[in-house]
Amino acid sequence: MKRILITGGAGFIGSHLCERLLKEGNEVICLDNYFTGAKKNIVHLLDNPYFELVRHDITMPYFIEVDEIYNLACPASPVHYQYNPIKTIKTSVMGAINMLGLAKRVKAKILQASTSEVYGDPEIHPQPEYYWGNVNPIGPRSCYDEGKRCAETLFMDYHIQNKVNIKIVRIFNTYGPNMNPNDGRVVSNFIVQALSGEDLTIFGDGTQTRSFQYVDDLVEGMIRMMHTPDEFIGPVNLGNQNEFTMLELAENIIDLTGSSSGIIFKSLPKDDPKQRQPDTTKAKANLNNWEPKIQLREGLARTIEYFQATLLTNGRQKIRINA
C-alpha cells in the first residue's frame, strides 16, 4: 500500500483518480480548496478508511509523509481560469514550488498534470512533445498557458538540480462524468444545451478541431506514467488521436440525446486554437502500449447519462440516448 497525495482531488479528473487508486489498494489523501472541485465528486469515498479529505490551497505549503504526489490542482476551463487570472498563475507556479518542495523533503515521486495548452495555437499538427508551442504570453489565456509552461520548467529544474523524481504528462481535451455543467468546456456546454432543448453554441465556423479522450483512458495513462522507470520523466502527451470538428461534435451530441436543438454560431474568442490533436507515439512506446480505448460516441453516451442522472433530471423528462 502506497500513501498517495492528489492535489485537486475533488475535481473532475482528480475524483476519478482518487477512486481508481483506492480500488488498487492505496491510501489516498485528497487535497482541494473547492474553487472548481466539489465535495459531491468524492463524498462516496469518505467511508473508505484509507481515504482522507483535506481542504487546502496549494499556494500555501503543505506538510505530509507520502510516497507519490499527483499535482492536478488548477482551474482548467477558460471560464474558471480567467475568472481570477492572478490566482490561476499563482496556483500553477507557487503550487508547483510547494509540491516539489514537499516531494524533495520526503523523497516522493511527483507527477505534474500539464496541458496541451502549452502548445498554444499550434503551427505543427498533430503536436509532438518536442514542439515548443505558439503561445501568446499576454493574452486572455496566458494565465493558464504560461502558468503550466512555467510549472514544467520548475519540475525540470527540481529534477536536474535537486534530483527530484518527476513525471510530466500533457493532457488533451478530456470529458466524462463529474464534469461541472457550468465549466464552459465544449462537451459539457453542448450536452447541457442539448438536454435543455437549447440551441448548441459553436464559437467560430465549426471547422476548428479537437481530440476528445474519455476520463478513464486518461487516468490509466497517468497511472502508467507514474509507474515508468525513474529515468523516463516525459513530457508525454495523453489524448485521443481521433480528431473532430466542433460541428461534428455538436451533431453527435444532438443525435445521442435525440434533442431538437439547433446550432448557432458566434465569434471565436481571442487566441482560441484552430487545431488540437496529440501525437501519442511517445505514450504508446513508453506506457506499455497505452492508447485510448473508449471512442467518442460511447464516451459521450456515458457522459450524457451522468448529466441526466445527477444534474438535469429535476423537473425534466429523461431523453433516450441513441447509443
Domains of the chain, each with CATH number or no CATH: 3-176+214-238 (3.40.50.720)
CA angle 120, 123, 127 (to 5 degrees): 70
Q: For 9-37, what is the mean pLDDT?
A: 96
pLDDT of residue 276: 83
The span from the CA of 303 to the CA of 307, in Å, is 6
Q: What is the pLDDT of residues 17-29, one digit of tens each?
A: 999 999 999 999 9
Contacts of 120 (CB under 8 A, 6+ apart): 133, 134, 135, 136, 145, 271, 273
- Whether 81 is catalytic is no
Q: Which of 303, 207, 193, 213 is nearest to 246 (CA)?
A: 207
Lowest mean pLDDT among 104-118, 169-183, 256-270: 256-270
Q: For 203-224, what is the mean pLDDT?
A: 93
pLDDT of residue 321: 43
Distance set, CA 307 to CA 48, 186, 212, 310 (Å): 25, 14, 18, 5
Compute the mean pLDDT over every residue in the chain, rounded to the nearest whole number: 91
Does 72 or 186 have the greater pLDDT score?
72
Of 70, 81, 119, 144, the catalytic one is: 144
Does 77 or 222 have the greater pLDDT score?
222
Evaluate if residue 235 carries a pLDDT over 60. Answer: yes
- Report the percent of the chain where pLDDT is more than 90: 76
Evaluate if residue 312 carries a pLDDT over 70. Answer: no
Q: For 19-42, what is the mean pLDDT?
A: 95
Dihedral, 212, 288, 74, 122 alpha carbons, nearest 10: -50
Q: What is the pLDDT of residues 63-75, one digit of tens each?
A: 999 999 999 999 8
- Beta pairing partners, 134: 120
